[in-house]
Structure 1
Amino acid sequence: MSARRLRKVLLTVHVCAAAGWLGGALTLVALGLSGRDTALDAMRTIDQYVMIPVSMLALLAGLTLALTSPWGLAKHYWVLTKLVLTIAVIVFAAVYLAQQVEAGSRAGATAGAVVLLAVLVTNVTLGVFKPWGRTARGRRAAGAAPARTPERVG
């Protein structure tokens, strides 16, 4: 398999995992707002069997993409911001959201799911628009080369 094809496969895995994570967050919000007695049980199941695996897969695939592509991990502000937000939201989900579900607080779990959803939508937006340019490290790495956008896979 060529490097280009392998990168496309990795990008597909990353996008699918991120889409699953976003869909899971939307589902948690819908369950929380439903007012049904079984919502917390469903939220717990979705957290364990969907949210945790896809969040880890999205993180690992994203790290691999960043480390093996011209975008780099610390060369562009949008990549660094996505990494920080991803790690922060994983910790938030483990510390706050899961605890609210376990404590039986549908309101707290729903609020946490809304925060999760907002951060994930922000990450998608950053990945699409790629704002803010290069970091100091990215500018040094570029040296005298003219500023250009790495080739997109597609």
Structure 2
Amino acid sequence: MKISGDWLVVPVALLALVSGLVLSLGTPWGLARHRWVWTTFWLTPVTTGLSIFSLRHGINAAAAEGVVDIDLVIAPSVATATYLFITAISVLKPWGLTRRGRRLRISASSAKSVDARSSRQTA
């Protein structure tokens, strides 16, 4: 368990954080345009941090003492439930735009209408 905690949980959690950040900045969804993206972004580092600091500490203590504690069940269960929730809201995409997303949508639609009016041909 110590090997999987050190060599599997930490890299996968950090990979989820980095890939989410890269995908949010490189796609039209953006990082702060939709509430569901913003929620998944902030839940991921919190869960990653808790997984790294609470799960690894519990695994190291259990390995040193040779006694399994209930924390070794609670921490992974909470992390798994959180990652399932993040996956669900990433698929369902609930909630609406943030204030920034509404402002960007309005400015984009007004820019399109100005471009459409300026491209008219005159006689």
Shorter-chain TM-score: which interval? 0.7 to 0.9
Question: Is the CA contact 2:2–2:59 (under 8 Å) kept in the aligned structure 1?
Answer: yes
Bigger radius of gyration:
2
Aligned residues: 104
Instruction: State the TM-score, normalizing by the size of structure 2.
Output: 0.78
Matches within 5 A, 1:4-15: none
Per-residue displacement from partner, 1:61-85 (whole Å, max 9, x unpaired)?
1111110111000000110100111
Counterpart AA for 2:97: R
Question: Is the CA contact 2:5–2:59 (under 8 Å) kept in the aligned structure 1?
Answer: no
> Could you list the runs of 5+ residues in structure 2 that have no partner in the other structure?
63-67, 111-123
Counterpart AA for 1:54: V
Aligned mate of 1:93, from 47, 51, 71: 51
Instruction: State the TM-score, normalizing by the size of structure 1.
Output: 0.63
Counterpart AA for 1:83: F
- Tell me if 1:121 matches 2:84: yes
Question: Is the CA contact 1:98–1:109 (under 8 Å) kept in the aligned structure 2?
Answer: no
Q: Aligned residue for 2:96?
A: 133
Q: How far apart are 1:103 and its partner, in Å?
A: 1.6
Identity value in percent: 34
RMSD between aligned residues: 1.5
Counterpart AA for 2:42: V
Q: Aligned residue for 2:61?
A: 103
> Could you list the runs of 5+ residues in structure 1 that have no partner in the other structure?
1-42, 147-154
Counterpart AA for 1:75: R
